[in-house]
Each structure stands twice: as structure tokens, then as C-alpha cells.
Amino acid sequence: MSKIPAKFKKYFWDTDIAKIDLEKNEVYVIERLVDHGDLEAFHWLKQTYSPKKIKEVSLKSRRVSNRTKNFLQLIY
């Protein structure tokens, strides 16, 4: 897998994005981008992870807002 694009650094303000492993830290990446990301970040997320994985992580997570969970349930 590739790395997180530099334009999404603003969503990972508390972490060095160069050190994020997209496989090992997939829950963290998905949680952060579905809840804080913009439309471009969401499109990148859909290209990087399967819809099943995005839905699974988002709906089980305590870090994702209820508003985002409701929105994702409509999409998926």
C-alpha cells in the first residue's frame, strides 16, 4: 500500500504521517478521515480500503460521531 498523501496532513495533526502504516493503522486512518476529512479525503479512502472495511470500522468505532455513522449507513 502507498502512503497518505501530504495534502491530508491536516487531518493527522497529532501524528507524523510518514510513519503511518496503512495496513497496521487502518482503523486509525479510516476513523480520522471519515469523521474529519473532506470529500477528496473520502474518495481517497474509498480507493485505498474496501467499502466493507470502511463500513465495519466506522460503525464499530467509538471515535466516529453518530452523525457520520448515520451518513455512512445511508451510503453503504
**Whole-angstrom Cα distance, residue 12 to residue 14?**
6
**Does 58 map to a domain?**
yes
- Identify whether the C-beta of residue 58 lies closer than 8 Å to the C-beta of residue 68: yes
Instruction: Say what the pLDDT of residue 2 is.
Output: 77
Taking only the tens place, the pLDDT of each residue in 2-61 is: 799 999 999 999 999 999 999 999 999 999 999 999 999 999 999 999 999 999 999 999
Domain span holding position 68: 6-75
C-alpha cell at 68: 457520520
**Does 41 map to a domain?**
yes
**Does 25 map to a domain?**
yes
- Total number of domains constituting the chain: 1
Q: 76 pLDDT exceeds 90?
A: no
**Does 1 map to a domain?**
no
Instruction: Say what the pLDDT of residue 1 is.
Output: 60
Instruction: Give this prediction's pTM.
Output: 0.91
**Whole-angstrom Cα distance, residue 55 to residue 34?**
10
**Whole-angstrom Cα distance, residue 55 to residue 53?**
5
